[in-house]
Amino acid sequence: QVQLVESGGGLVQAGGSLRLSCAAAGRPFSYVALSWFRQAPGKEREFVAAINWSGSRVDYADSVQGRFTISRDNGKSTMYLQMNSLKPEDTAVYYCAAGAPYGRRMTGEYPYWGQGTQVTVSS
């Protein structure tokens, strides 16, 4: 069993920035790949970014490439998503996910999920 808890969501104007955090517990944090997903109203949950166990490899959805940065601090058992140049289209509930090999993009491949944190971008 692994527990994931997201935080840092909120309301921000278009063009602004926000940093999300995902704290993990229940298994050694240093050896698990992690991903961010998001789900907007009326849409399927979609892949946002992935990071391998050490943080040396990262992957991004085309929609956030160049604007979002995924990182992790294994000493703090925490993963981050730095979101810059935010757009109204980024409005969604953001989830962290674990339990799949690095870089997987389908929700069904992840057995562990956080509760989600709401991000709202106004124009």
The per-residue pLDDT for 2 is 81
Q: Dihedral through CA 4, CA 21, CA 36, CA 57, nearest 10?
A: -110
Q: Are 107 and 45 in contact (CB under 8 A)?
A: yes
16: Cβ–Cβ under 8 A, 6 or more apart, which residues?
86, 121
- The CA distance from 95 to 116, in Å, is 4
Residue 70 DSSP SS3: strand
The residues facing 105 across adjacent strands are none
The per-residue pLDDT for 28 is 67
Per-residue pLDDT of the chain (123 residues; tens, 9 = 90+): 788 999 999 999 999 999 999 998 876 666 789 999 999 999 999 999 999 999 999 999 999 999 999 999 988 999 999 999 999 999 999 999 999 999 999 999 999 999 999 999 999
